[in-house]
Chains A and B, each alone.
Chain A
Amino acid sequence: MKDSNYSKVNNSRRAFLSKTAIASSSAVTIAIAPGVLLSEVHAQTAHASQGASISTKADDEAVSSKNRWGMLIDTAKCASGCTGCVDACNEEHGLVGNNRPETDTQYIRKVHLKNKTTGHELSLPLMCQHCETAPCVDVCPTGASFTRKDGIVLVDKHICIGCRYCMMACPYKARSLVHEKVTNQTLSSPRGKGTVESCTMCVTRVDKGGIPACVEACTAENHNAMIFGDLNDPDSAISIELKNRGGKQLRPDLALNTGVRYQGL
């Protein structure tokens, strides 16, 4: 990748950010990958509205806005060098690399951050943040990008025409286009050349009362850096943890009300 191009973009965004983030004295702008900026402004508490339980729905029951699925990631527990979540995701969704890192599909990736001044390093998994007001949904010309009633942002690939506007709009660089023919797909991710895809928060598992593959793997590795649960249910583990210790959105300045939150940024 041509770094010079990206740093140009980053500079102008930084200027923009420093203007918009006056409210915060501790504004920090983080470039986490070429073209992707994270800005840490204020600790935001998760939105928690009137509760509902995490009851698993019946197979023939439609999803509803009773639930809002989310994830909380504790960066202090996320081990650098561990790719457990990434591997589990690739296996669950049958994602095969073609040794072309710039275009190979990534639903989730590990990002390593280093603070130049303090030398402090941290590692975190980055995936679709499942925004409430998702830019990818705003720009989609066909309605293929949509937010499910329970907050999961998806691509209806049956309607996707592969224009990639959503990829450009996503501030987290969370989406990929399938560039090659695929066969022997998994049930979790039917996927084929010419459509856009991203983290589905493992809808096929969630609809059956399960948890996403990445969260399962992180727990199995005994790192316990990821919690999955219902942000609308005040008694869920994720809501309790958010209430006690808080959790930040990446780029809170964009006011996207993300479903994925981070601790220790």
Chain B
Amino acid sequence: MIKLLRLLFVFTGFILVSTSALLGTAVADTPFPTVHLPADESLKCIQPADEMRRNHMNYIMHQRDITVHDGIRTEPDSLSGCIDCHVEPRVESSGKEGEIASFKSNEHFCTSCHQYAAVQIDCFQCHADRPQKYIKRSYHTSSLKNQLQQAMTATAEVEQ
């Protein structure tokens, strides 16, 4: 009986060891997120990279409150600062400037990690996910002007 039990222990032990070995290889094979860093290597983040990896959210959340409530506008720490530096057009194989990955794509700097880490942020529902210089606004046409003129000119009469 004891012999049988011992055999059972050894057997389960063997199974445990082999599965953890399997898991080990599984972890090693898991692709880590590809984080595209700014092409210009002379640029520096607002803090060292390891600090940013861990604590970037604290910096932006703090900045958010002091900007909105106290009007403190220190560019590099701002969300638009992160975006200006971190979001660039793809480089096509031809060497030309390509499209910019939207925040929904894991090619976007912020999403590359967040998708991997299952983090969901709502920031880009309101904030542009790319630098302003890459945004072309063409809607401001005279037809819009007319439309607005109609919509926004309310006429009312004065009662005495």
Contact = CB atoms under 8 A, between A and B. Distances in A.
A87 B141 CA distance: 10
B156 A62 contact: no
Given A83-B149, A97-B147, A182-B126, A62 B158 contact: no
B126 to A, nearest CB: 4
B127 interface: yes
Contacts of B132: 186-187
A214 to B, nearest CB: 12
Interface of A: 14, 28-34, 57, 59-63, 81, 83, 86-87, 90-91, 94, 96-97, 99, 101, 104, 106, 109-117, 146, 148-150, 154, 156-158, 181-187, 190-193, 195, 203-204, 207-208
Contacts of A34: 154
A112 B153 CA distance: 7
A184 B137 contact: yes
A113 B158 CA distance: 7
Contact of A146 (B69, B135, B150): B69
Interface of B: 64, 66, 68-75, 80, 122, 125-130, 132, 135, 137, 139-140, 144-145, 147-160
B68 A154 contact: yes
Given A62-B71, A83-B148, A110-B153, A115 B158 contact: yes
A207 B157 contact: no
Contacts of A113: 155-158
A106 B152 contact: yes
Do most interface residues of chain A lie in helix, strand or loop, or is the interface mixed? loop
Nearest to B140: A91
Contact of B155 (A86, A106, A112): A112
Given A94-B137, A207-B71, A208-B73, A112 B154 contact: yes
Given A99-B147, A109-B154, A110-B152, A62 B137 contact: no
A190 B127 contact: yes
Contacts of B127: 185, 190
A184 B138 CA distance: 12
B70 A62 contact: yes
18 contacts: A14-B159, A30-B158, A31-B156, A31-B157, A34-B154, A86-B148, A91-B137, A94-B137, A101-B152, A110-B152, A115-B158, A116-B157, A116-B158, A116-B159, A150-B71, A185-B127, A187-B80, A187-B132
Contacts of A116: 157-160
B71 A190 contact: no
B148 A97 contact: yes
Contact of B158 (A28, A83, A193): A28
B148 A115 contact: no
B66 A62 contact: yes
B144 A191 contact: no
Contacts of A183: 128-129
A156 to B, nearest CB: 5
